[in-house]
Each structure stands twice: as structure tokens, then as C-alpha cells.
Homo-oligomer: A and B are copies of this chain.
């Protein structure tokens, strides 16, 4: 433990410095001195690497971090925090980029970093699941499976350095048929805010073998309570994996006209419901794909939004369409061929659509060879990568980004409504509209990034203004986000207002019951414990 820099430390509001020091000492006794981090230098890792729009960078800074190695250590930390009323924040790998990274909602929180709890406890090839601790990254799990030559595929988000469990709990998205990650959690172990320990679903059977086979269990199921939440700390979870398919067909479609959007969404929505398109299909506009090349300066040196003519020229050069759809087909060869034929027929109805596909016999390749060969298509095959980081250079070498992610019904008309609004607001605020849609089974995630130059205060403030306008005006059209940056967690929750925010009041009731001390991740997703609601301490 290094208590240097204590003078400039951000303590939680209302906590006496003496109590804080006392807590650090108790943490050190519980988990070992070297795993309590309190030097200002080391604590930088526990802030938002994109230091978003706040004028005061200390607003989302922790006071300390603790790194437990076991469930029992997590329980000890929670008990100490309750005793001394120390707000906690929990990260698995802290890579929730665009949503705050490792940064806590409440300044001065002690961050529990679960990175040392990184054991892969089981990979069951027969029944196709893994049981992992929250510190396990997508790279870790992928390499473990490859190392053992198991015939299993994982599902990975755009960046593979994050936590398998943490990503799923925050309802992250991947690009295989198992891409709705929260849907593929089966069975959790959870440390409760009072230090209690539960296993959900069939995990409550001490001698059962079905913990990771059947999600619901007996009686009400509580798993949903631990997603995007501050109701408990998940210390292990079962994750369903996909049996390795015999064939993999990568499909790329390019559509000529912006006005094709409505048809594309309607067709893809239908193909998703019919399980012809099996995975999270991704539809991207031109700017989204162009931004992968890196700095925009290379083709447009001005400020503000790039003129349409410049975007068009770049788009022509790259051979892209106004909209570009990527999905894949998985499985036995006869099935893959049948799906491909049906998909080609369906998109053939859009004039000028170009359909490219590339088929791989997965069995014929070693994993490494396959990975190398498919290159940037890799996320659709569950191969983790960091390719997506390139886009951050689009507006400045040290670029920031903020995700705007409302949910849509898979309806062309709805997509057009949102794209028109987003395009207009981006231009008005001097940003290029980086836009697209990811297709869940029954919904769309709108994917939109505001890419800005972190070095420019004005640019950052402008990104903030754009984001707030988007929330407001999209909200008026009925669109709301499923996820939010720590800075916007209250804002994004506000439109969920049926019957005077009855759902939020209900979750607050639950929060107070399971966390009477109000110590665990106060304010996460807009849920505040009683002591902070009434005092107006941190919120409102």
C-alpha cells in the first residue's frame, strides 16, 4: 500500500478521512497490503481513459482500488465497506470503453478490481459451456480453448481485451449466433452487498450437475438483477459456447443508395427471425467503414463535418456502398448453402445490391491458420482482436469516443427515422455521422459513435452537447438507450418514466433491501441507494 498523494485524493462525499484510512488498513489486512492501490499514479488506470466531457476530471475518479484474489476476499471487502460506509465500484477488466472504462460513477469510490480472479474453472466440450471468473478476458478464453484444441467457439465483442463475464453482465454484444452475451450466461455465483453469497438457478443445489445447463431454476429467477446493476458482485458465471461449425461463410453486401436503408432493415429483420441470418448482422454507413482507416486528415483536412462530396469520393475509392451489411452463415455445408441461396434471393430485391461471400471448411484448417486467413472478419468467427481501436484516431491522434446506443424495433421505418435524426444532429454539431445498426434476434442496437479530439476542450464540449441533443430528440421519437457512460447514467434513465418512473422506484426498493448500507456502486444505471437519494448527496 502506498498512501502517497493522499492530499489530492478524491474522497467520497461525507466520508471522514480517518474512516477512509481505517478502511484502507482493514482492506490491507483482509487481502494483503500489496493489493490495496492508493497512489495517484497507479490510480490513473482506474479512471476513464477517454476522460469524457466533465470539466473536472476528478468527478469520476476513485479514491483507491483493491484487488482481491478470491470470493472470500471479495466478501471481506464488502463487509468492511459496509462497516465504514465506503462506496464501492466494481470492474472486471475495466475495458468498458465508450461507457466510462474503469471509472466509477461516484467520485472517491473504492474500486474493486477483479482482474486477479482470472481462472477458467471449467470448459465442458460435450455440453458446450465454460465457467469463468470475471478476470478472464476473451483472449484468455480463446487461447485456452485453442490450446486444448476443443471444438468450441466463443463470441467476442469488437475488442477482445475485456472480461467475458463483465461484458455479458453489461449486456455487451458479439458477432456470432451467440452474440447477445447476456442471454448466454447460465448460472452465477454472486457476493451480495452485505457479504452474503448465493448461487443462482440450479447452482443452489449443492450436489447438482445442471447449474450451467438450465437458467431459471425453481421459483423466481434473480439473474437479471445482477446485469447492469449494483445488486451484487458476480464472482463466477457459466457461459454457453457454440459448437464449432463445419462451415463458415462470410457475407458482405454493399448497397448503393442511402434510401435503401428501409428495405435492408426490413429484409434483414425478417431473415433474422427466420434464422437465415443467424448472427448479429452489422449494417454500417460509409463513415463508419472509412473511419477504420484511421485519421480523417488523410483525406479531409478541415474541421467540422466532412463535406458529402469528400465522403463520396472516399467511398468510391474504397468500393463501398452507402450502406454495407456484414453477416455470416454457420453450420453443415448443405444448410449453409441453403441459407446462402435464400439470403441472396432476398437481397436480390434491392436494386444494385452487391453480394459477396466466402466459404471456409473450418475442419480443414488449424485454428491459427483459419484466424490468419479470415483476417478482419475474425469477430464473426469468435476470434478476439483489437482491430476496432483504429477508429479512435479518426479525429485526433489521441481520440475519444462516446457510444450512443438506442434500441429499435427491427423495422425499416424506425431505422430511417433514427438515421435521419442522427445524421442531421451530427452535421449540426460538426461531426460526421458514424452510424449503423446491429441486428439482434428481435431488435436493433443502433450503433453510433461520436469520435472527438480529446486534446480539444471545445471539441469535447461539442461532443457532449451532441450527445445530450441525441438523447433528448431521439427520446421524443421513442428511442432510448440500453447502456450509458457513467456521466450519462441518470440522463439515459430518465425517459424510462412510465407511471412516474415506477420501474426505477421498484428497483430502488429492491436496492435498499439488498444493500441497506448503500455501498455497492451507487448510481450505476441511475439506481441510487436510499442514503444518496434522500440526502441529495451525490445525485439530483
A: which residues have CB within 8 A of B?
126-129, 171, 182, 186, 192, 196-200, 202-210, 213-214, 216-229, 231, 240, 243, 269-270, 273-276, 331-332, 334-335, 337-339, 341-342, 407-411, 414, 440, 442-443, 475-476, 478-484, 492-493, 495-499, 501-507, 509-510, 512-514, 524-527
Check if B332 sits within 8 Å of A338, measured CB to CB.
yes
Chain B residues near A223 (CB-CB < 8 A) = 224
Closest to A509 in B: B513
- Distance (Å) between the CB of A500 and the closest chain B CB? 10
Of the candidates B222, B224, B229, B499, the one whose C-beta lies within 8 Å of that of A507 is: B222
Chain B residues near A273 (CB-CB < 8 A) = 128, 243
Check if A497 sits within 8 Å of B408, measured CB to CB.
no
Check if B199 sits within 8 Å of A498, measured CB to CB.
yes
Between A and B, 7 residue pairs with Cβ closer than 8 Å are A127-B409, A196-B499, A208-B478, A210-B408, A218-B228, A224-B224, A334-B341
Check if B209 sits within 8 Å of A220, measured CB to CB.
no
Of the candidates B210, B276, B504, B513, the one whose C-beta lies within 8 Å of that of A512 is: B513
Given A196-B502, A205-B498, A408-B210, answer yes or no on A216-B221 (Cβ-Cβ < 8 Å): no
Check if B525 sits within 8 Å of A220, measured CB to CB.
yes
In the bound complex, CA of A228 to CA of B220 (Å): 5
Chain B residues near A505 (CB-CB < 8 A) = 196
Chain B residues near A442 (CB-CB < 8 A) = 127-129, 186, 213-214, 240
Given A182-B216, A525-B218, A525-B219, answer yes or no on A331-B224 (Cβ-Cβ < 8 Å): no
Check if A274 sits within 8 Å of B331, measured CB to CB.
yes
Given A332-B338, A334-B342, A338-B334, answer yes or no on A214-B498 (Cβ-Cβ < 8 Å): no
Closest to A201 in B: B503
Of the candidates B203, B208, B507, B513, the one whose C-beta lies within 8 Å of that of A220 is: B507
Given A198-B503, A216-B227, A506-B198, answer yes or no on A207-B478 (Cβ-Cβ < 8 Å): yes
- Distance (Å) between the CB of A432 and the closest chain B CB? 27
Closest to A334 in B: B338
Chain B residues near A331 (CB-CB < 8 A) = 274-275
Beyond the given pairs A127-B269, A219-B507, A219-B525, 7 more chain A to chain B contacts, judged by CB atoms under 8 angstroms and listed by A's residue number, are A198-B503, A203-B498, A209-B409, A220-B226, A220-B228, A222-B507, A334-B342
Check if B208 sits within 8 Å of A479, measured CB to CB.
yes
In the bound complex, CA of A128 to CA of B269 (Å): 11
In the bound complex, CA of A525 to CA of B220 (Å): 8
In the bound complex, CA of A133 to CA of B538 (Å): 41
Check if A476 sits within 8 Å of B207, measured CB to CB.
yes
In the bound complex, CA of A501 to CA of B199 (Å): 10
- Distance (Å) between the CB of A439 and the closest chain B CB? 12
In the bound complex, CA of A236 to CA of B475 (Å): 24
Check if B221 sits within 8 Å of A222, measured CB to CB.
no
- Distance (Å) between the CB of A453 and the closest chain B CB? 29
Chain B residues near A334 (CB-CB < 8 A) = 334, 337-338, 341-342
- Distance (Å) between the CB of A275 and the closest chain B CB? 7
Closest to A278 in B: B275
Of the candidates B171, B484, B504, the one whose C-beta lies within 8 Å of that of A216 is: B171
In the bound complex, CA of A411 to CA of B214 (Å): 13
Check if B526 sits within 8 Å of A219, measured CB to CB.
yes
Check if B443 sits within 8 Å of A214, measured CB to CB.
yes
In the bound complex, CA of A525 to CA of B219 (Å): 5
Which of A200, A216, A414, A440 has the most chain B CB atoms inside 10 A of its CB?
A216
In the bound complex, CA of A503 to CA of B127 (Å): 25
Check if A506 sits within 8 Å of B411, measured CB to CB.
no
